Amino acid sequence: MPLVPRPSHCAPGIARATASVRPFMKPRSCRSAQGWRHLARLAYLALALGVQPLQTAASDSTEFQPAQSEPAAQPAQGQAEGELAGPSAGQTEAAATHAAPPADATTWWSLRPIQKPPLPAVARSDWPRHAIDHFVLAGLEAQGWQPAPDQQPQRLLRRLYFDLWGLPPTPEQVEDFLRNPSTEAYELLVDRLLADHRYGERWARYWLDIVRFAETNGYERDAPKPFAWKYRDWVIRAFNEDMPYDRFVLEQLAGDELPDAAPHTLAATGFLRVGTFDDEPNDPLQYRYEQLDDLMHATGTAFLALTLKCARCHDHKFDPIPQQDYYALLNCFVPGKPADTENVLAFTDQGPEPPTVRLLKSGDPRREEHVVPPAFLSLLPSVLRTIQPPPPGASTTTYRTQLARWIADPRNPLTARVIVNRVWQHHFGQAICRTPDNFGVMGSEPTHPELLNWLAADFMEHGWQIKRLHRAILLSRTYSMDSLHPREAELVEHDPENTRLWRMNRRRLEAEALRDAMLAASGQLSSRLGGPSFYPPLPAEALEGLSRKGAAWGTSPPEEWGRRSIYIFSQRSLPVPLLTAFDFPDTTQPCCQRNVSLVAQQALALLNNEFVVEQSRLLARRLRAERPVSLPAQLDLAWRLTLSRAPAPEELHAALAHVDAQCQRFLQALPPDAPVQELALASLCQVLFNTNEFIFVD
């Protein structure tokens, strides 16, 4: 049954409700993206919910007359009858609550030049340790609030290790720090963690999310991308070597065009190759522009936090990005092709000849209009727009090099703000601008705009060094706050999302950190750095949904299974079930902020997943091997390996009772030669893996 009634029954109502949403849609958008069909459904939703139309000047002047010859219930091509293709409920709510875009969107906060503000004065002058603290405390004092007390040293240490390494501290590392938890010792520890290769393995994963990294093409065949792992290893190395961020941008967009081009800079251009790829498109011309749009989308999202793809078919509806600008910038990617280089997934130009790019009406490659010369976006008048022709003797157009330099120009107000915002996000669980993928008008405004400006300006002043930015954040008093506040109940009423940072956010471990923490506790974690990806064993039922079944997933020797999760082969059609249970992202699109869900399936995975069960057994064996004499000593070590602390007396008592009860059950149910003590201890280890304290960082 169609979900949208016929026009004869609802056309007058649609005309009324349309007036409330019409200001958000431009006619060209409606023609190019089935906008009228979406608008009709949005209007119908408004009627169904009893929403009264807004009385605006726009509604008075834009009365919508539905075409009687095109019934609203008629499904579009490729759409099943009854399919509701319009906006979601969230989008409907957004249409009713979002303020209209500013008349001049170039005045939007993210497009204003970055100016380093002075530090605000604070009453509690003994609290700040860093400039960051001045901005945070000033905001709290303006509300009459005080920050949470400092976190306990043991919990702060665990927070720090997971933030920088994605791993828990060892019992020895905890003991060393607790013997001297001074500010000076903490600073030395931060430097030591940043200098270790495990830092790069942790922080590269965030960037791989943004660039939609995977090692297969996607689509039905989902063929492998040979040597895609070299791009992943390049990202890890770039973080470990503290490559300046402006150089980080340059090598990914134009590593093949550099005067000092080398195999590793070619590997960096894998950024332009790791997206999806259809090796048998039905319409090659149309798909060519789909590929180019994917590059535009990935570049705009990763480096600028702009939704460039919204200007492909028409002028951007909210941000000052005309369709002309989209095709002007597209010149940078049109000459590109896969590089004919062995043993590396790379990208280069077909030659130095500048391309001829035409504006496509409604984004249709068969409706070409005028030629669009190369240029950068006009929304940044402070940065030069001109793209120069290739110099004599060049082997490429050099357009991508110019694009990278335009992105990393200190006058570009977006780039530094975007990366600083993302680094902050992964330390605090929420970014300063809470839409890290969209700094445009439909994104959020920053909770601490002056702090974001100060960090961005300071970041550029000191050579775009990300490790220095980490150090500033980690040494701040703000970062060291407890995740509980003495006035928690009161402050939650006023600021339930902790936007003012009156305490630290409690955070659930990401999928990879959770898996790696289990490996670290069981003693199975491999320290091998880089190289080809490995295939962990998967349950048979996970392979049943594949078109090629078991042949689609490779095998690796058991000694590979303990490698860090960043080295797991990333197959678009078959993500690892344990990782997906904990919100591993969709690799077909850039992901700047993962979902953080708390659902029953996660508890079931931790209770039944074969990997978790095996790591519990291996942890039990480790405990018995390292503390062979005493069960209480084994339990004490179990707590230290999983929760980074000693058990409380009541916890130890309950654990002893649990192990004893399990031994009695196993003695009755299992053969006489069964390793009853080990199995009982393993069940206790699995309980620890299921605790909130293991899964969350305070």
- What was the pLDDT predicted at 107? 87
Radius of gyration of the chain (CA): 28
Rounded to an integer, what distance in angstroms lies between the CA atom of residue 425 and that of residue 434? Answer: 8
- What was the pLDDT predicted at 548? 62
- What was the pLDDT predicted at 40? 42
| Mean pLDDT computed over every residue of the chain | 88
- What was the pLDDT predicted at 104? 67
Find, among 323, 318, 262, the residue nearest to 296 by Cα.
323
Rounded to an integer, what distance in angstroms lies between the CA atom of residue 203 and that of residue 510? Answer: 12
Phi, psi of 338 (to 5 degrees): -60, 135
**CA 344, 347, 352, 358: dihedral to nearest 10 degrees?**
160
Judge whether residue 59 has pLDDT over 50: no
Phi, psi of 405 (to 5 degrees): -70, -35
Judge whether residue 99 has pLDDT over 70: no
Residue 505: both structure tokens together: 């956010």
More confident residue, 52 or 641: 641
Residue 128: both structure tokens together: 């700040």
- What was the pLDDT predicted at 64? 35
Enter the DSSP assignment of 338.
E
Find, among 284, 189, 319, 594, the residue nearest to 430 by Cα.
594
- What was the pLDDT predicted at 220? 87
pLDDT in tens, 613-637: 999 999 999 999 999 989 999 999 9
Judge whether residue 342 has pLDDT over 80: no
Residue with tokens 């504006």: 359
Find, among 687, 682, 642, the residue nearest to 666 by Cα.
682
Rounded to an integer, what distance in angstroms lies between the CA atom of residue 318 and that of residue 379? Answer: 12
Q: Please give the average per-residue pLDDT across 444-463, as a whole number.
A: 98
Do the Cβ atoms of 206 and 426 come closer than 8 Å? yes
Note the Cα 535 to chain centre separation in Å.
Answer: 23
Judge whether residue 317 has pLDDT over 60: yes
Q: Count other Cβ atoms within 10 Å, centred on residue 107.
A: 10
Q: Please give the average per-residue pLDDT across 15-34, as a whole number.
A: 42
pLDDT in tens, 539-592: 888 888 776 654 578 999 999 999 999 999 999 999 999 999 999 999 999 999
- The confidence band for 341, taking pLDDT boundaries of 50, 70 and 90, is confident
**395 Cβ neighbours under 8 A, 6+ residues apart:** 349, 351, 352
Enter the DSSP assignment of 329.
H
Choose from 91-100, 413-422, 666-675 the range with maximum mean pLDDT: 413-422
CA angle 347, 349, 355 (to 5 degrees): 140
Q: Please give the average per-residue pLDDT across 371-386, as a whole number.
A: 90
- What was the pLDDT predicted at 219? 92
Residue with tokens 């002075």: 118
Do the Cβ atoms of 215 and 573 come closer than 8 Å? no
Residue 469: both structure tokens together: 């930015």
- What was the pLDDT predicted at 541? 86
Judge whether residue 86 has pLDDT over 60: no
Stretch (H or E) spanning 636: helix 631-643
Judge whether residue 73 has pLDDT over 80: no
- What was the pLDDT predicted at 210? 98
- The ranges assigned to domains in the chain are 7-100, 118-195+413-508, 244-407, 509-598, 608-697
Do the Cβ atoms of 185 and 177 come closer than 8 Å? yes
Contacts within 8 Å (CB) and 24+ apart, 334-343? 334/292, 335/396, 335/397, 335/399, 336/272, 336/295, 336/400, 338/273, 339/256, 339/266, 339/269, 341/266, 343/227, 343/230
Q: Please give the average per-residue pLDDT across 502-527, as a whole number.
A: 98
**403 Cβ neighbours under 8 A, 6+ residues apart:** 253, 254, 299, 329, 332, 376, 387
Judge whether residue 366 has pLDDT over 60: yes
- The confidence band for 85, taking pLDDT boundaries of 50, 70 and 90, is very low
Rounded to an integer, what distance in angstroms lies between the CA atom of residue 540 and that of residue 455? Answer: 49
Burial of 615 (0-12, 13-18, 19+ CB in 10 A): buried
- What was the pLDDT predicted at 381? 80
Residue 289: both structure tokens together: 């522009």
Instruction: Output the furthest CA–CA distance in the chain (Å, rounded).
Output: 86
Rounded to an integer, what distance in angstroms lies between the CA atom of residue 375 and that of residue 328? Answer: 5
Phi, psi of 352 (to 5 degrees): -85, -5
CA angle 341, 344, 347 (to 5 degrees): 65
CA distances from 404 to 105, 387, 399 (A): 24, 11, 9
422: left (phi over 0), alpha (psi -120 to 50) or beta: alpha
- What was the pLDDT predicted at 547? 65
Judge whether residue 17 has pLDDT over 80: no
3-state secondary structure 77-127: CCCCCCCCCCCCHHHHHHHHHCCCCCCCHHHCHHHCCCCCCCCCCCCCCCC
What pTM did the predictor assign? 0.86
Rounded to an integer, what distance in angstroms lies between the CA atom of residue 574 and that of residue 218? Answer: 10
Note the Cα 312 to chain centre separation in Å.
Answer: 24
- The confidence band for 251, taking pLDDT boundaries of 50, 70 and 90, is very high
Do the Cβ atoms of 223 and 216 come closer than 8 Å? yes
pLDDT in tens, 327-339: 999 999 999 999 8
- What was the pLDDT predicted at 385? 85
Stretch (H or E) spanning 508: strand 507-508
- What was the pLDDT predicted at 53? 40
- What was the pLDDT predicted at 103? 56
Number of helices (H), then strands (E), in the chain: 29, 6
Do the Cβ atoms of 417 and 429 come closer than 8 Å? no
Judge whether residue 51 has pLDDT over 70: no
Rounded to an integer, what distance in angstroms lies between the CA atom of residue 145 and that of residue 91? Answer: 35
One-letter identity of residue 415 = T
Lowest mean pLDDT among 21-25, 340-344, 517-521: 21-25
- The confidence band for 102, taking pLDDT boundaries of 50, 70 and 90, is low
Do the Cβ atoms of 73 and 2 come closer than 8 Å? yes
